[in-house]
Amino acid sequence: MLKKILIILTSILLIANFYVISECTTHDRRVINLISIICYFLVFLGFGGAKKILLLYSILAFLGTDYLLIYYDTNEVVTKVIPVLKISAYFLLTVSVFEKVKLLNNKSSIIIGFLVIIALNVLWMFNLIWKSSEKFNDNFEIVLHLLYGLIMVWMCTIAINCYMRFKTTKSLFFLLFILGVILSDASWFLAYYFDIKFFFYIYTILYFIGLAYMVRYADSTGNKDDAFLSVS
């Protein structure tokens, strides 16, 4: 039942958001985005998500950032609070699953592969932020975004490791949730700071996919044969 609800909800919200992106103002786009996450939040609560404390904090942090995003262009404090909220959410999610992560029996080739991927992503991220640094309000804001980018790369690495280690439905939901929200953040950054409107569409798709799988992850029960336990 939850799967059908999320498919219908996501389809409706995508159509509504795509229309607003193409036809309405930036303020309208941010308002419909806030309404969308409220819809996912209600579904999250309706299917017992409130029992998962760290996931509850994470979705509340996402909701808070989407609300503050309405004032992103008019309040310098907001531009600093948003990355702090996202960093805290990703950090807590990382801590919650870190002990479950093992680099696939410490195979050197796989470890080296992951380190190369992390290094390339970090270099790309630093280059991206450096090129858009003139759009930040001060150096502290640049540092916050660099830290934000680092934890995004690390969170993706953790999620991929979890899935490759356990390869269960629960770990797949966690992977899709993390990749969805992380890549949506990267898409929003490209859309906003480099004025590429197309990436707002990509952001919306990835964000809603991430939120949908967050709800499914929260709803998934702790099967005895599933070594990847619920975040709580």
- Cα end-to-end span (Å), the chain: 23
pTM of the model: 0.87
User: In 3-state terms, what secondary structure has residue 142?
Assistant: helix
Q: Is 68:34 a contact under the CB 8 Å cutoff? A: no
10 Å Cβ neighbour count for 179? 19
List average pLDDT for each run of 10 residues in the chain, which is 232 residues long. Answer: 95 97 96 97 93 92 96 90 93 78 54 64 67 72 82 84 85 94 91 90 97 93 47 43
